[in-house]
Structure 1
Amino acid sequence: MNVCLTDVYMRRPRERDNGPEGMEPDGVIESNWHEIVDSFDDMNLCEALLRGIYAYGFEKPSAIQQRAILPCIKGYDVIAQAQSGTGKTATFAISILQQLDPELRATQALVLAPTRELAQQIQKVVMALGDYMGATCHACIGGTNVRNEVAKLQAEAPHIVVGTPGRVFDMLSRKFLSSKNIKMFVLDEADEMLSRGFKDQIYEIFQKLPSSTQVVLLSATMPVEVLEVTTKFMREPVRILVKKDELTLEGIRQFYINVEKEEWKLDTLCDLYETLTITQAVIFINTRRKVDWLTEKMHARDFTVSALHGDMDQKDRDVIMREFRSGSSRVLITTDLLVTSRSLAPPIHAEVIVYSQSERSSFTYQS
């Protein structure tokens, strides 16, 4: 369920329809790839990888997985546009692992993500799916000790490196990370990375990779900058796209409350908490200043809430996110900036409230 107080939305847990989890059936997908495989068993995956997939809890591939895994495995460049929660991470993780040679102790795949949190989240998924293969995956991210990073990369090259553009570019430039055996390059959240000013670093990373490297690009939206990347660096890519006007919040109950004045929002929010039984909630606000303001106001009214935004120290952010995901913290107030990276994944039972909404696309990410 979503409730909107002029901008405030509240989400209840998603009610599944009869289509593949995460997306509507094929009607919402535009693609130049028409082969659909609706079972992991029919994808010709290695036995150890299949064990990892089923051990992780997957039973049936989502719609994006049914279309995208096969062309990725066959070596095609692939552009996949889909919402958060559609199974995008597992799509490229499975594709990487299937093409991996576990006996070759060299980095064979490189994944770029816009934030440290998302890179670490991807690393966990890759390690879990590749558990029975003996696959190794290293998170190459900023905010960590460079000397330790270098030592890990030099001790034994990980099969897969997942990282943020700045640190990955630094390690490649200083030749601590070898690109010689990289055969797949994945850009996850490409729109978010480019919006954060990583364009030059991404282009320079491309230049350091073998010309034969397969490119897989995933993006929630397709702005001009993303399309430039696809034109410049991809060869006749397979396109699996969700129509823009169908990037909606279907499957989520939404409610809208029209609050005529900005100053009435706080009282309305408090009324909601007194009216509804809320186990856990995320409240999104479009500026860091407003996050601090609302946190202070909620504390003054004896509500226990946590705040999270980009001005905070990375260690403090990690602690707050860990507490929220574990359930020890019940209400989290945060900015659009953090959620557009999809690195903050609210528990499925959490309500989502958008207190001040910047644009429609950001709200789509949030759910």
Structure 2
Amino acid sequence: MSDTTFRELPISQTTLKSIEKMGYKKPTEIQEKAIPVVMEGKDLIAQAQTGTGKTAAFGIPIVEKVNPKARKIQALVLVPTRELAIQVVKEIKDIGRSKKLFALAVYGGKSIKHQIDFLKKGKDVVIVGTPGRIRDLIERGVLDLSNVEIFVLDEADRMLDMGFIEDIEFIFEQTPKDKQTLMFSATMPPSIKRLAEKFLRPDYEMVRVKPEEVTVDRIKQIVYRVDENKQFEKLTESLKEHPETKTIIFTETKKEADQIADKLRKEGFNASAIHGDYSQAKREKVLRDFRRNQLQILVATDVAARGLDIKGVDLVMNYSLPRNVESYVHRIGRTGRAGKEGTAISIMNTQEDNLFRLIKKITKADIQFENLSDKEFTKPQSKRRFTSRRRYTRR
């Protein structure tokens, strides 16, 4: 946490009142670095994870810059998931409460007619939405972006992973050329840098924060290496060793999430999956139950879990390793938060040796083998290539 106070940043008294009511004491690192840059009117690319306070890093400047009395859309925020759209709108509304700012979340899985009706009222000056639904509303002629002054890409890397690039480019072209563009991304692969070069003005600034390096130190990391047909057995054994523990299990696919949650329930565990094929009502119920501790185990894909603010997670489990190091760090960072210690267990199969070596090399983490010594593990293995990214279907 920074020693700087919000009052030392270029923020009005009106907005400061709202921030104080929200319980914010001091700005996080990303807020301290990004807010002055954005308030100067510069374009920005920021590397920041979920949980760093990045929403307020662009939400506070948006509230400061837009005119709530002008009946036109002045800020647009693109996000990869419905849950993140809802969360971002709530935070922007809370920050702009003293200014009586109107903001609207638009996303698939909910009545488009209802969203169109809100847009026609002309009150909303900030729109937050998923690329697919934003494009749909533009093509229907009900979403006018010609007055947008601030354009934000939140979780930019995840949107590219999900195949939204064409939608993003289409939406970008519907906005004025002289707008301010902000990009927030958890990782900085070449595709994000290319997008920045295309969208941002040449004098854009870049800021980076990496909170996981601190968080990981408080997480006990354990790995079991088993044959693929023994993975579920090891999963249930590990869960039984951690009874009544609030747990997130990560899987690679939606189908796998459903299958594992179903098998766990048959074994007597209080578990449910969450992913994009569920209705919005079902997703919200699952998350509500998990937050209230009425559900013990949440089985999720990376995409479904991205952007979710879930506190008090004691255990994270990887049912097979993620395909890239950034995802591994992001997953295990769901525990060990707010100064507390956490545990992360990975159940890797014998085909994932090279991938795990890469994770251990880059993270430099103290990872504990439970059923295999380091010496045994370092025996020569056949080479195998792993892709750094996976492409997700558009939702």
TM-score under structure 2 length normalisation: 0.78
349 and 243 in structure 1: CA distance in 2 versus 1, 3 angstrom threshold: closer
Provide the rounded CA distance (Å) in 2 between the counterparts of 1:48 and 1:107: 21
Amino acid at match of 1:159: V
Give the Cα–Cα distance (whole angstroms) in 1 for the partners of residues 107 and 256 of structure 2: 29
Counterpart-to-counterpart distance in 1, 2:19 and 2:92 = 10
2:183 to 187, 203, 217: 217
Aligned counterparts, 1:284-363, within 5 A: 284-339=250-305, 342-359=306-323, 360-363=325-328
For 2:22, the aligned partner's letter is: Y
Q: Is 1:194 equivalent to 2:188 in the alignment?
A: no
Residue equivalent to 1:183: 149
**Structure 2 counterpart of 1:26:** none
Q: 1:287 deviation in Å? A: 2.5
The one-letter code sitting in structure 2 at the alignment partner of 1:361 is E
**Matches of 1:67 and 1:57, distance apart in 2:** 20
What's the CA shift for 1:353? Answer: 1.6
Q: Provide the C-alpha distance between the structure 2 equivalents of 1:266 and 1:311, rounded to a whole number of angstroms.
A: 23
The residue aligned with 1:51 is 17
Deviation at 1:132, TM superposition (A): 1.3
CA deviation after TM superposition for structure 1 residue 248, in Å? 7.6
- Which residue identity is paired with 1:288? K
CA distance in 1, matches of 2:264, 2:68: 52
Q: Measure how far apart 1:355 and its partner are.
A: 2.0
Residue aligned with 1:45, SS: coil
Query: Which residue in 2 is equivalent to 1:254?
Result: 220
Q: Which moved more, 1:271-280 or 1:174-183?
A: 271-280
Which of 88, 91, 104 aligns to 1:138? It is: 104
Cα gap change, 1:222 to 1:350, in 2 (>3 Å): same
2:118 corresponds to 1:168? no
Q: Secondary structure at the match of 1:250?
A: helix
Give the stretch that moved more between structures: 180-189 or 277-286: 277-286
After TM superposition, the structure 1 = structure 2 runs for residues 198-277 of structure 1, keeping only pairs within 5 Å, are: 198-235=164-201, 236-242=203-209, 249-277=215-243
Gaps of 5+ in 2: 334-395
- Are the structure 2 counterparts of residues 146 and 276 from structure 1 closer, same or farther at C-alpha, using a change threshold of 3 Å? closer
For CA contacts below 8 A with separation 6 or more, give which structure has more relative contact order. Answer: 1
Question: Contact between 2:146 and 2:174, CA under 8 Å: does it hold in 1?
Answer: no
> Helix, strand or coil: the match of 1:291?
helix
Aligned-partner Cα distance in 2 for 1:337–1:104: 35
Give the conservation status (yes or no) of the 8 Å contact 1:285–1:334.
Answer: yes
Secondary structure of residue in 2 paired with 1:182 = coil
What is the Cα deviation at residue 182 of structure 1?
A: 1.4
CA contact (8 A) 2:47 2:208 kept: yes
In structure 2, the residue matched to 1:3 is none
Contact 2:110-2:280 within 8 A present in 1 as well: no
SS of the aligned residue for 1:228 comes to helix
Q: Percent identity?
A: 34
Structure 1 runs (4+) deviating above 4 angstroms are 246-249
**Could you tell me which amino acid in structure 1 is paired with residue 328 of structure 2?**
F
1:128 corresponding residue in structure 2: 94
CA contact (8 A) 1:248 1:364 kept: no
SS in 1 for 2:225: coil
RMSD value over aligned CA atoms?
Answer: 2.2
